[in-house]
Structure 1
């Protein structure tokens, strides 16, 4: 393979990526401060009280004195007075979230805003690193595992920031997003790093600008959905304990109690997965077309093709189960998490451990 046309730009890209990692680290500490040093909001603190009041109200409604009322046909009937309650189970309702949808107080909100500002700065540096790498190699910056990883983590951060702009209450994703982006970049710059090189002939195609970027975008969005599904599993168990007055530790109450409700997390994951599924389908189709152009066949059950299809089947089962069987809880979340694990096998496993026509990882 030929070396990059501009090694100076390649070095600049490396500096920008390392600088972005340093800023991501500061953002991570700010997110930790938001959750640890910021107290729970008034809404989060009053949820247990609301539950107790609702249970008392329902008990009063069932035990209230019966009164005689005159029916329409002149007969007398016994009725109990109706007591209006807020909710049968506030813990499982879509309760208003606190600052940043993390249920924190004003102090925590300040740390959260600082964290978002640092995340934005890190993203811009990250973007600069990816773009300068593309200019240096004079092609798309996703020709090996290092470039794919840096582009993937950039998409994850960018999607998170866009969601913040659109929804304004998804900051609860920040700690996990920034933490895993740091891990991904650390792995990319150490284990997966590859010197700037030109593409092998099979990859030198217009489909390189269609198939691979779509796979990166789909993976980044599916990752956000997977985070939501995992958090749903924890939050749902927390709410189940609230419903039966089970003993809940201080840590669980202060952390899980500040997440959005399980219904919100479940709906968030479903919307992302449902929106990405058509894009992932087109990504596989585009890959098949590219394979026919490069190797003379559309499909040969290569490990990369096989695991891409397995990932598609997993998410198809997830969407089908929700639409026909009505799975909206833990079963659906398990399917969503399994689907993303299949994507990770396709992402890391095939390129590193399998003998494949797609083994261009450069590892």
Structure 2
């Protein structure tokens, strides 16, 4: 089989993964949409029971307080459509992840190297890591409520990879032909994937917290409690930060071998360090008692915004020693 054929099959696997993720995203949305009616139905039943108790108490000449309103329907109280949509969403998310693995493997065989030589390949492998991390994690915890916030961004990144960042399969520049490509860029990709899931959880936490403070009901009431979501996001950032630290150090070592200097003030180097500083500020603020969880979470989202700038802006519009590894 020729390299062109392998590259073509890699693209076909990628397109198939995008189609599958579209189905997964829709099914995740259907599942979330089905949660709110179930919650409202339970709330209405609770209000009816409360009214009956109050009426009975008034007739007896004494006030009776009603039970607290339930806000979380149990699995048995979910509609069959919601359960079916959740099952399809989980299966298609797994399938999409495997299709991305196949796409990455075929791309690597087509170019006879580790498939992380440009933005297109980085985006595909980063999406693969994100989906697989979420899918594996979902086997240990019920994360159906988070699926839309994972498959949606992944589908967006893959769409950008195909439409904007696509690069024909080719050999690497001489400076990139190093074992440090496998070490440095792979760890950077893995760290970005973990940061992505952490950012999704942080955004959900801030959104749910805002609704709770306003007193408005929403489908977010079905999600885990806000402290639990925030702690989980914090845990993921604790995992991702050392990976990004290693990325920064490994990049400096590789720069010494390739460009004879550990630090060259290249735009990519500078923004990698900026990301590290912002996330370090987040971890510090999270451990500081005088700073609220909401403020710390906004700092975490600022760190992820820096990741987006580093990848989608610096790689494209800034000229530097990393320019040949962009588009």
Q: TM-score, normalised by structure 2?
A: 0.87
Instruction: Give the match for residue 293 of structure 1.
Output: 257
Aligned partners of 2:188 and 2:247 also within 8 Å: yes
Aligned partners of 1:27 and 1:119 also within 8 Å: yes
Instruction: Give the match for residue 155 of structure 2.
Output: 182
Change beyond 3 A, Cα 1:137–1:173? same
Gaps of at least 5 residues in structure 2 are 51-65
Question: What SS class does the counterpart of residue 360 from structure 1 fall into?
Answer: helix
Which of the numbers 305, 321, 326 marks the counterpart of 1:357? Answer: 321
Q: Kindly report the root-mean-square deviation, in angstroms, between the aligned alpha carbons of the 2 structures.
A: 2.9
Instruction: Give the match for residue 56 of structure 1.
Output: none
Distance 2:85 2:253 in 1: 48
Residue 12 in 1 paired to residue 2 in 2? no
Instruction: Give the match for residue 208 of structure 1.
Output: 181
Write the mapping of 1:90-239 to structure 2, written as runs, cut at 5 A.
Answer: 98-99=74-75, 105-167=79-141, 169-239=142-212
Gaps of at least 5 residues in structure 1 are 54-84, 243-247
Number of equivalenced pairs: 312
Distance 1:97 1:327 in 2: 34
Distance 1:38 1:9 in 2: 43
Distance 1:353 1:44 in 2: 52
Write the mapping of 1:270-349 to structure 2, written as runs, cut at 5 A.
Answer: 270-349=234-313
Distance 1:262 1:156 in 2: 23
Aligned partners of 1:221 and 1:276 also within 8 Å: yes
Change beyond 3 A, Cα 1:303–1:140? same
Residue 25 in 1 paired to residue 19 in 2? no
- The Cα offsets for residues 64-122 of structure 1, whole Å up to 9 and x where unpaired, read as xxxxxxxxxxxxxxxxxxxxx999xx99xxx97855xxx95553122111111011111
Instruction: Give the match for residue 240 of structure 1.
Output: 213
Q: Which has the higher helix share?
A: 2
* The 10-residue stretch of structure 1 (353-362 or 176-185) with the greater mean CA deviation from structure 2: 353-362
Distance 2:183 2:172 in 1: 15
Residue 258 in 1 paired to residue 231 in 2? no
- The Cα offsets for residues 220-264 of structure 1, whole Å up to 9 and x where unpaired, read as 11011111111111111111123xxxxx3xxxx342222222111
Aligned partners of 2:13 and 2:103 also within 8 Å: yes
Change beyond 3 A, Cα 1:239–1:39? closer
Instruction: Give the match for residue 80 of structure 1.
Output: none
Which of the numbers 238, 244, 267 marks the counterpart of 2:231? Answer: 267
Change beyond 3 A, Cα 1:327–1:107? farther
Change beyond 3 A, Cα 1:37–1:171? closer
Aligned partners of 2:32 and 2:145 also within 8 Å: no
Change beyond 3 A, Cα 1:48–1:327? farther
Distance 1:146 1:176 in 2: 22
The runs of at least 4 aligned residues of structure 1 exceeding 3 Å deviation read: 37-50, 95-99, 103-107, 325-328
Distance 1:351 1:44 in 2: 50
- The Cα offsets for residues 171-216 of structure 1, whole Å up to 9 and x where unpaired, read as 2221121111111111111111110011101111010010000000
Aligned partners of 2:125 and 2:189 also within 8 Å: yes
